A and B are shown apart, each in its own frame.
Chain A
Amino acid sequence: MIEFTGVVKRYPGCREALKNVSFAVQPGEFVYLTGHSGAGKSTVMRLIAAIEKPTAGTVLVHHQNVGRLSARSIPFLRRQLGMVLQDHRLLFDRSVFDNVMLPLQIAGMDRREAGRRARAALDKVGLQGREKSNPITLSGGEQQRVCLARAVVNRPALLIADEPTASLDAGYANDILGIFRDFHRVGVTVLVATHDESLIARFPGRMLRLDQGILAG
């Protein structure tokens, strides 16, 4: 599903964020990506979503070489991907419902069908009844759930989440991770970046640990 081979990422005017990183995530796996702050977790996520291009090495997603993808193909890669970003990137000029609708609208789905799916996604994350609210009026944990609903609304086979439980208390974090587990159970491949080791202890899974851009076991 995901395959990194000798990936190096150097941001302009910065030391290397990733140094020769190689790993693979098989379809149906649940994988944690951990490491200290600045270790390069978000960089890995951004490479998968083609937000950044690798300086060297290859990044394969769905057998596509993401680093070589033409600008025209990138949108279609992203539509196959469920993505929860470290900064929420919710739009505060529209309702929760419209935020969740966004990926379907972009994909050109019929509005009625899209609405049905968006409601189903909101149900799944426990936000039924909050559809009309503005996301700014929601708590941090609820906003995370909206992000999660938006990530899964197009029913992706691969779900990547960057610190989806950051700044949440343990109860909320458990709820959110439980939802990821549910998706994993129905066959979705999940990659979660987190530095919360206690969470990993409660929900065991394969772990990839980054240390200053180097993958350590």
Chain B
Amino acid sequence: MRAWLHAHFDAIAQTRRQFWRRPVAAFLSAVVIGVGLLFPVGGYIVAANLKVLAVGAGTDPQISVFLAPDASAAERAEIERRLRLEPGVRNFRFIGKDAALKELQTRTGSDDLMSGLASNPLPDTYLITPREASLVAQARLADSVRNWPRVVEVDVDAVWSDRLRMLAKTGDIVVLGLGVVLGLAMLAISFNTIRLQVLTRTEEIAVLRLFGATPSYVRRPFLYFGALQGVAAALFAWVVAGGSLWWIEPRLAALLDAYGLSSRLAGLLPADGLALLGFSALVGMLGAWLALGEH
């Protein structure tokens, strides 16, 4: 146990010396690998946020019913009577065209939206919360409401959330693909930097072998170096991704609020970050292992 620990401390000391021999080169390769990692990490964050959006939109399905602009109060009363009778409707809310305009004005912060228009172009709207959340039930409800008098359009939000969900699924596949391709790129970079070290140190390796070093003794510092380079790259990617989120979040908040969505972005969880570190360390080590070849 002591000998084992000693061997590893020795390897770590050698790894440190290896780093200080070419600190700039080692640092820059870690940055290059880190930048490569940023793509799958960024993709992963985008996909995670899409998923949150899809879930958020899906839990509270809403159907918007737009009336003709010239619908009268009596016609609205008829719509409301039918809504009350309709068994698929849990509850509904009326947003008059004036209220909708006012909300739009406060949301966009400009009062002169109307300056170029003769009259309010927004329609009266009913927001329906259906009793059943299933897409089929929502579609059936939407179809029947669409045939009512003075209804010009029915918009099922589920379509949107469904699209988001599909997008998120596609995002996952894209992220996975990016991960594989960039994992290979990382492997190549790690292989190259460590191959170079091995080549510049062939004499040292030969002398080590002559004086009784086992192959694993020779390999260990290089493997550690590869792993540490991977960890440094992953830390770089983690910090840059986290920093970007931190920068972007307040700037995106207004937009997300406008859609009634949570303004908190999903970031990298500690578990994600650790997985990233582990993955990167493994790839770095694998690159080193390949670079060592027969040594």
Q: Is the CB of A49 within 8 A of B7?
A: no
How far, in angstroms, from A51 to B207 measured CA to CA in the complex?
12
Q: Is the CB of A91 within 8 A of B207?
A: yes
Known A-B contacts A91-B204, A91-B207, A102-B207; A110 and B212 likewise in contact (beta carbons under 8 Å): no
How far, in angstroms, from A108 to B212 measured CA to CA in the complex?
11
Q: How far is the CB of A152 from chain B (nearest CB, A)?
A: 12
Is residue A15 within 8 Å, beta carbon to beta carbon, of the partner chain?
Answer: no
Q: Is the CB of B10 within 8 A of A89?
A: no
Q: How far is the CB of A15 from chain B (nearest CB, A)?
A: 26
How far, in angstroms, from A85 to B211 measured CA to CA in the complex?
11
Q: Is the CB of A108 within 8 A of B10?
A: yes
SS of B interface (majority): helix
Is residue A105 within 8 Å, beta carbon to beta carbon, of the partner chain?
Answer: yes
Q: Is the CB of B3 within 8 A of A106?
A: no
Q: Is the CB of A106 within 8 A of B213?
A: yes
Is residue B210 within 8 Å, beta carbon to beta carbon, of the partner chain?
Answer: yes
How far, in angstroms, from A49 to B217 measured CA to CA in the complex?
19
Q: Is the CB of A93 within 8 A of B204?
A: yes
Which residue, of A49, A75, A79, has the highest number of chain B Cβ atoms within 10 A? Answer: A75
Is residue B253 within 8 Å, beta carbon to beta carbon, of the partner chain?
Answer: no
Partner of B210 from the list A51, A76, A105, A110 (CB cut-off 8 Å) is A51
**Residues A45-79 near B (CB distance < 8 A):** 49, 51, 71-72, 75-79
Is residue B255 within 8 Å, beta carbon to beta carbon, of the partner chain?
Answer: no
How far, in angstroms, from A21 to B217 measured CA to CA in the complex?
35
Is residue B208 within 8 Å, beta carbon to beta carbon, of the partner chain?
Answer: yes
Q: Is the CB of B207 within 8 A of A78?
A: no
Q: Is the CB of B212 within 8 A of A103?
A: yes
Which residue, of A85, A107, A108, A110, has the highest number of chain B Cβ atoms within 10 A? Answer: A108
CB-CB under 8 A from A91, the residues of chain B are: 203-204, 207
Instruction: Rank and list the top 5 A-B pairs by shortest CB-CB distance, nearest first.
Output: A79-B212, A78-B212, A103-B211, A75-B212, A106-B213
Q: Which residues of B contact A (CB under 8 A)?
A: 3, 6-7, 10, 21, 203-204, 206-215, 217
